[in-house]
Amino acid sequence: MLEIERKFLVKSDAYKNEAFSQKRIKQGYLNSNPERTVRIRIKDNKAYITVKGNSNASGMSRFEWEKEIPVEDAQNLLLLCETGVIDKTRYEVKIANHIYEVDEFYGENEGLEMAEIELQSETESFEKPDWLGEEVTNDKRYYNSYLSKNPFKNW
For the annotated catalytic residues, the residue numbers are 29
Cβ proximity of 102 and 15 under 8 Å: yes
DSSP labels, 50-86 = EEEE---TTSSEEEEEEEEE-HHHHHHHHTTSPS--E
| Integer Cα distance of 3 and 106 in angstroms | 25
Residue 117's contacts (CB-CB under 8 Å, 6 or more residues apart) are: 5, 6, 8, 98, 99, 100, 101, 126
| Integer Cα distance of 78 and 19 in angstroms | 28
